[in-house]
Structure 1
Amino acid sequence: MSRFSVVVPAHRVQGYLRECLDSVLDQSFGDLELIVVDDASPDASAAIAAQCAERDPRVQLVRAPAQAGAGPARNIGADRATGTYLLFLDGDDLLLPGALEAIAAALDRADDPDVLLTGHDRVDWWENVRAGGDDLTGDPVAVTVAAWNRVFRRVFWQRHRLTFSDGPYEDVIPVHRATLAAGARVAALDEPCVRWRERRGGSFAKSPGRAHFAVVGRYEELLSAADPAGRERLLPHAAAHLLAVLDDPGRIAPGDRRDFFRAASRLYRTYATAPPAAAGEQALAAASYAAHETQRKRASRRGGVARQLKRQKKKLRARAMRVTYATDLRRPLDPRLAVYGAYWNRGISCNPAAIHAKARELAPHIKGVWVVSSRNKHRVPDGVEYVIEGSRSYWQTMARATYLINNSSFPGGFTKRPGQVYLQTHHGTPLKKMGLDQRRYPAGTHGISFQKVLDHTDQWDLSLSANPHSTEVWERVYPSTSYESLEAGYPRNDVYFTAGESEVVRIREELGVADGRTVLLYAPTHRDYQKGFLPRLDLERFVRALGPSYVVLVRAHYFYGAEAGLRAHPRLIDVTGHARVEDLCLAADALVTDYSSLMFDYACLDRPIVTYAPDWQAYRLARGTYFDLLSGRPGETPGAVATNEGELIELFRGGSWDGEEAAGLRSAFRERFCPYDDGGAAGRVVRRLFLEGQAPRS
């Protein structure tokens, strides 16, 4: 008997089914049976399932004699199941990596409950991933009504003779009945286990019509059979569900809205025994569709008026800013004022932060002011002056500062004045194509205006370079006669040469790393062709395979927010939101990355670098690269290489991640890409910019 029976109904899902089934079969927890029920699908769904069954004995393909719908198809699968627990997954959805292992652990912690609620997320056809939105700490009845966001103990399912209904909204009755019957034996796993894929068309949820009236009938059947306590508990959530269906234009057509409301209101008033509490209940209790529509339109108008006022205020403010900025541009420059920015106003970091810190030491007469966005102002340390992008203070500072230092660009289209000196520090050594070279790879440009790129380049006076490779690339892809290359090394890397052992110990303690552990920093970069942080590595399986002596720090790219969304594991630490990546590098005994420019900085430490590149070909084709990272040639490959999860695990188990061959590659890589880094880069930049003087362009 398997621990899990996963039942998948299949009808017209040929474009999604293979990925769905693979998401189950590739789970790290493999004690399962997968039952695919072909609901007489006219497309290739059955053939796809048959192929999976041919290669994996855990898969069964069951063919329904005629199309009956998702509910009866699930019932067929449940009848065939032999597992301890039942999971129902739709053929166009996905089971997220590690989900079954997390579910199994949650079931063990809860002493094998009858029902386990699980979290989910959703992804649209543009691959935008959003949270599911359920609060699993409250009443289980309030959780999204679906078969796929909960797990049922099979003997419990059979004992209560639970079945899915025939027709639309087939899961309303069995899902709610199971929740009520389980009582205190309902547990929750508050992390996403299923990815609900929203389809652009072809699904019931995107097909308006009177078939959606069936949801009223489902609640009628459910409430009529429930005891008084069950009705009282169900009714508020039934009202909310019915009004959500009503207000969804993908379900209820305008001409049917009045009839649907009347049916929902009649149902509510039939079973209500207490005064309505929530707004939805009050609307249905009033039994007036006109009043409901008036209230809905009034709320919509209020929102529209508020948005319009906000837009008008923004336009007036922008106009006023332009007028005052024009006045400030006629005032003299302040020779002691420098303005700093990093990563599009995300906070105090990277090369500008190292230059700012060194300037306080070597050039204290220079006042440094940072530009940050309003949502990132909390990241500014005490004692550091800053202005909010777009504010009056921002435009005053940009108009009067003599020195401009940034690793990306300043917001708002500022005017570069004669006498101002602009240092572009950049924020990495280029592996991927940059600047004008990106024109050959339109998939990664996302609407970049290359004319604006050139206009921005023409503002630079100095372009900081970490190595000869960078100098060559920057001068070609950012062509301009306006700037001079400053080959001084990266100031942010100075700490790798100046930090002592006590500093490393302190950082590890702050991260919660126990003594004697080997620390790996896993820091993949973002993909232009991928939305959200979707590591191509089962991190839990990886850390388990390495054993208790390893700890893995996980750093998602800053494009993906402050957290990587990891499942809880004592030897996996999410450090995405950590303020200083340099601290993480100091704490790590080795770096595991793919195409991140962090590899070039980490090489300064002369510690192992492992390249994990499962999609190298796709990355090269989509974005383009300046050399072959996987070639194995000295100066191109920084160390050991793995292209799949098994190879990566074997590198660490076998020791080749830190072997002689890897060390030789690392030495050549370091020689090529770290020739200027020696701990004194920030000092060289500060002296050149603030003390020796940089002749500004006229």
Structure 2
Amino acid sequence: LSTVRSTQYSTKIFSKKIDNIIIYESFNGKSFSDSPRMLYFYLSKALPEYKHVVVSDNDTLDEQLAHLNIETVKKNTKKYFELYNNAKVWIVNTRLSPQIKKKSNQLYIQTWHGTPLKKLANDQTVISIPDVTLEEYLYGFNKETSRWDSLLSPSEVATERFQSAFNLENDQILTLGYPRNDDLINLNNADYAYQLKQKYNIPTNKKVVLYAPTWRDNDRVDIGQYNLKLQIDLEDFNKQLGNEYVLAIRAHYLVSEHLNLDRYDNIYDLSKANDVNELFLMSDTLITDYSSVYFDYANLHRPILFFAYDKDAYANDIRGFYLPYEEELPGPIFKTSEDLIAHIKSGEYEKIPHSEEYKAFTHKYNYLDDGEATKRVGEYIMSTLIKEKEFQ
């Protein structure tokens, strides 16, 4: 969720003029990734007459983007609010500050960041944020969604869930696939995986198990910051699997706690990696819980394991699911670290992608992941801009 910082600047002082600017924001400026990144590279080539600006909220990202000659703006600065006020197109994958006022002649493309497994917004019946009622939470969320011109969706199933969660009309949802998944189709090869292991200093002779858990709404440090309490027994993983495997941990972007893994030779904290797709592509197996990452990962046709040690509490007290959690999962569920590690050690996990359940899952949810989603969404944005000019 987007955090709101106090600022001395008011959008009222800004000009009403709209300029040929497209602004891109991924995960509140914490990274240059996901669908906004893919659309940046497509649209910056296709629309050279526009100014393309990426939102950044950290100095490391500033340096990386400067090296690529990508113009940036620091989040929540005066220039940041000015750009949103003046930009013709906004391309964002999370919520924006309510201080940013959208004009009717601006185009807001909300790419979102996953297929809904957990209940969202108006579909939620419980809220676990301290000192916030469900009514207050929904009021803020609906204020946000009322600004969206279009929301991207990866499948018809996701579209149905987005409609009810965000109170959107069907024509506001673009069921075109997620641009971010194009790389999972187009870069899925052994040579690239080898290069990525070298990039992240991962031993190239070991298999990579990627652990990507989600956050718990009820374990909050501050607004938009949550704890990460690992339940995998790292000592046991090292002892049982360390000769053949490494464990790469990718914490959710909302999790605040830094992992101290220095004493483990075969366990890596890759939470700050800019692009999760790179971690997907270099890994051999995914472990997750209630994160939607497994919908994307299934495009690689690699094993997926579900470590759901608090499933009942999560379903009943924290968020809830659109379907019973066990239904349609493309892999087995584990409640203890011991059973999870034993399953990996046995090698049984390698059979998972060949199951009928896995094949049915990808057919239902990933049929639009064909490596062309960026092009489809990019062409939609360009055609919308052309139509608007013709109308004017």
Q: How does 1:221-620 map to 2 (within 5 A)?
A: 318=8, 321-322=9-10, 325-331=11-17, 333-334=18-19, 336-373=20-57, 378=62, 381-382=65-66, 383-438=69-124, 440-444=125-129, 447=132, 448-481=136-169, 484-499=172-187, 500-531=189-220, 532-561=227-256, 563-620=258-315
CA displacement at 1:453 relative to structure 2: 1.4
CA displacement at 1:551 relative to structure 2: 1.2
CA displacement at 1:650 relative to structure 2: 2.4
What amino acid is the match of 1:608? Answer: P
Residues in 1 aligned to 2:285 and 2:257: alpha-carbon distance in whole angstroms: 23
Residues in 1 aligned to 2:131 and 2:182: alpha-carbon distance in whole angstroms: 34
CA displacement at 1:497 relative to structure 2: 1.0
Aligned to 1:240: none
Residues in 2 aligned to 1:555 and 1:526: alpha-carbon distance in whole angstroms: 11
Cα pair 2:23 2:55 within 8 Å, conserved: yes
Aligned to 1:625: 321
Q: How does 1:636-675 map to 2 (within 5 A)?
A: 636-659=328-351, 663-675=355-367
Residues in 2 aligned to 1:494 and 1:485: alpha-carbon distance in whole angstroms: 19
Provide, for residues 278-336 of structure 1, a one-character-per-residue CA deviation record: whole Å limited to 9, x for no partner. xxxxxxxxxxxxxxxxxxxxxxxxxxxxxxxxxxxx98x72xx32xx4353432x11x3
Residues in 1 aligned to 2:151 and 2:94: alpha-carbon distance in whole angstroms: 11
Residues in 1 aligned to 2:354 and 2:130: alpha-carbon distance in whole angstroms: 34
Provide, for residues 493-528 of structure 1, a one-character-per-residue CA deviation record: whole Å limited to 9, x for no partner. 111111143221110112222233111101111111
CA displacement at 1:573 relative to structure 2: 1.3
Residues in 2 aligned to 1:517 and 1:411: alpha-carbon distance in whole angstroms: 43
Aligned to 1:285: none
Aligned to 2:224: none
Residues in 1 aligned to 2:130 and 2:118: alpha-carbon distance in whole angstroms: 12
CA displacement at 1:530 relative to structure 2: 2.8
Residues in 2 aligned to 1:444 and 1:663: alpha-carbon distance in whole angstroms: 39
Residues in 2 aligned to 1:483 and 1:402: alpha-carbon distance in whole angstroms: 21
What amino acid is the match of 2:324? Answer: D
Aligned to 2:223: none
- The secondary structure found in structure 2 opposite 1:338 is strand
Residues in 2 aligned to 1:617 and 1:648: alpha-carbon distance in whole angstroms: 18
Residues in 1 aligned to 2:131 and 2:28: alpha-carbon distance in whole angstroms: 16
- The secondary structure found in structure 2 opposite 1:494 is helix
Question: Identity of paired residues, percent?
Answer: 28
- The secondary structure found in structure 1 opposite 2:28 is coil
Residues in 2 aligned to 1:662 and 1:592: alpha-carbon distance in whole angstroms: 17
CA displacement at 1:625 relative to structure 2: 0.7
Cα pair 1:444 1:623 within 8 Å, conserved: no
With 515-524 and 388-397 compared, the bigger mean Cα shift is at 388-397
CA displacement at 1:392 relative to structure 2: 2.5
What amino acid is the match of 1:326? Answer: K
Distance 1:663 1:540, change over 3 A: farther
Could you tell me which of 375, 378, 385 is aligned with 1:683? 375
CA displacement at 1:536 relative to structure 2: 1.2
Distance 1:662 1:358, change over 3 A: same
Cα pair 1:609 1:666 within 8 Å, conserved: no
Aligned to 1:146: none
Distance 1:521 1:661, change over 3 A: closer
CA displacement at 1:369 relative to structure 2: 1.1
- The secondary structure found in structure 1 opposite 2:158 is helix
What amino acid is the match of 1:521? Answer: L
What amino acid is the match of 1:395? Answer: F
Cα pair 1:349 1:580 within 8 Å, conserved: yes
Provide, for residues 602-624 of structure 1, a one-character-per-residue CA deviation record: whole Å limited to 9, x for no partner. 11111111111111111111210
What amino acid is the match of 1:641? Answer: I
Provide, for residues 360-419 of structure 1, a one-character-per-residue CA deviation record: whole Å limited to 9, x for no partner. 233333321122336675465121212223323222211211101111122352121121
- The secondary structure found in structure 2 opposite 1:330 is coil
- The secondary structure found in structure 2 opposite 1:620 is helix
Cα pair 1:329 1:399 within 8 Å, conserved: yes
Aligned to 1:10: none
Residues in 2 aligned to 1:685 and 1:446: alpha-carbon distance in whole angstroms: 39
Residues in 1 aligned to 2:266 and 2:320: alpha-carbon distance in whole angstroms: 35
Distance 1:647 1:431, change over 3 A: same
Distance 1:473 1:564, change over 3 A: same
Instruction: Give the superposed CA RMSD.
Output: 2.5
**Structure-1-length-normalised TM-score:** 0.50
Provide, for residues 429-463 of structure 1, a one-character-per-residue CA deviation record: whole Å limited to 9, x for no partner. 1111101122x112258625322211211111111
Larger Rg: 1
The structure with higher relative contact order (CA 8 Å, sep 6+) is 2
Residues in 2 aligned to 1:365 and 1:415: alpha-carbon distance in whole angstroms: 25
Cα pair 2:304 2:352 within 8 Å, conserved: no
With 452-461 and 599-608 compared, the bigger mean Cα shift is at 452-461
Provide, for residues 160-195 of structure 1, a one-character-per-residue CA deviation record: whole Å limited to 9, x for no partner. xxxxxxxxxxxxxxxxxxxxxxxxxxxxxxxxxxxx
Cα pair 1:465 1:490 within 8 Å, conserved: yes
- The secondary structure found in structure 1 opposite 2:229 is coil
Q: How does 1:14-33 map to 2 (within 5 A)?
A: none
Equivalent residue pairs, number = 373
What amino acid is the match of 1:443? Answer: S
Provide, for residues 330-375 of structure 1, a one-character-per-residue CA deviation record: whole Å limited to 9, x for no partner. 32x11x3111112123231211111111212333333211223366
CA displacement at 1:692 relative to structure 2: 5.3
What amino acid is the match of 1:516? Answer: N
Residues in 2 aligned to 1:473 and 1:428: alpha-carbon distance in whole angstroms: 12
CA displacement at 1:539 relative to structure 2: 1.8
CA displacement at 1:482 relative to structure 2: 9.3
Cα pair 2:62 2:72 within 8 Å, conserved: no
Cα pair 1:640 1:656 within 8 Å, conserved: no
Residues in 1 aligned to 2:94 and 2:131: alpha-carbon distance in whole angstroms: 17
Residues in 1 aligned to 2:157 and 2:228: alpha-carbon distance in whole angstroms: 30
Residues in 2 aligned to 1:367 and 1:482: alpha-carbon distance in whole angstroms: 31
